[in-house]
Structure 1
């Protein structure tokens, strides 16, 4: 975690730090406290992709029936494996097939790993990569698109690791 990430975490530590990208997909920072996970549940979030190695949301989320994929990776500005992205995309697509489900994708500060996974999910749903990046950035201005992470998503998609989902609400399959 760099100094900017630390500042974001400190500034937002007492509030639920999420931004809705679509009506069913949110991206954000840590939900490491009981208070925050209660807020997540109140927001109607049913599924979480946790991109952190620092903390596992599963024990906090279980009492609320929230399903968690711990898809831990370091924020080390190194290429991310297709397998990491595939796990997240498959979990997201399965979650979004459930009526009324809502998905939170997060890392510590919501600047790098969470947005990277959000980008992979949106592109798997048929979004154009540049449009998805712009759309996410408009909704979460603190996103920092690390070139190596964008390239990881581009490589993942180019290798045909996933197919665009076909059973999603219109608001999740294209920018509104």
Structure 2
């Protein structure tokens, strides 16, 4: 169960936490069972995705200016969900947090489901969506979600996304307390 005895840490503390994790950069890393976080290079490598047995792809940079190539046609064996998110602090990614988390959850509860969540670098937009999934469906606090994912992949959600994840944490905490009081 989520344990939140205080407000989420200030953004500067979350940024310092993210900075404390340094590691090699890979095209893809498994950050939770059957949940992979990666970049556009791995997303475009259909042979590698097949070898990884990926069944779902969540693209947080769908039709964005950074993805200059044609959309990858994954065929009938991979379920695709695209979100056109900009990696800038002013972008409202919060409207996508719950739908993306739901898509990830559906993928992971599908028999043999394996999902790749990606953006261009696999560090900000896609990491934000993975953190939200862990908070919503796995009852992680934001701080614990960052700790967990950072053990496997160097991530760097921008300041605006961190603020929106803080707001999500407060909403989830409020919902939990409301359920307990009813």
Decide: shared fold, TM above 0.5. Answer: yes
**In structure 1, C-alpha distance between the alignment counterparts of 2:54 and 2:42, rounded to whole Å:** 15
**In structure 1, C-alpha distance between the alignment counterparts of 2:43 and 2:116, rounded to whole Å:** 15
Question: How is 1:1-176 mapped onto 2 (pairs within 5 angstroms)?
Answer: 17-31=27-41, 36-52=45-61, 53=64, 54-55=66-67, 60-63=72-75, 65-125=77-137, 126-141=139-154, 143-160=155-172
Q: Which of the pair has more CA radius of gyration?
A: 2
Unaligned stretches of 5+ in structure 1?
1-11, 165-176
Q: Rate the CA distance shift 1:91–1:58 in 2: closer, same or farther, 3 A.
A: farther
The answer on whether the counterparts of 1:58 and 1:68 sit within 8 Å (CA) in structure 2 is no
The match for 2:18 is none
* Structure 1 residue 79: Cα displacement: 4.4
Cα-Cα RMSD: 2.7
**In structure 1, C-alpha distance between the alignment counterparts of 2:103 and 2:68, rounded to whole Å:** 16
**In structure 1, C-alpha distance between the alignment counterparts of 2:57 and 2:121, rounded to whole Å:** 15
Give me the TM-score of the superposition, normalised by structure 1. Answer: 0.71
**In structure 1, C-alpha distance between the alignment counterparts of 2:43 and 2:53, rounded to whole Å:** 17
Tell me which of the two structures has the higher relative contact order, counting C-alpha pairs closer than 8 angstroms and 6 or more residues apart.
Answer: 2
Unaligned stretches of 5+ in structure 2?
1-24, 177-182
Which aligned runs of 4 or more in structure 1 are off by greater than 4 angstroms?
A: 56-59
The answer on whether the counterparts of 2:39 and 2:119 sit within 8 Å (CA) in structure 1 is yes
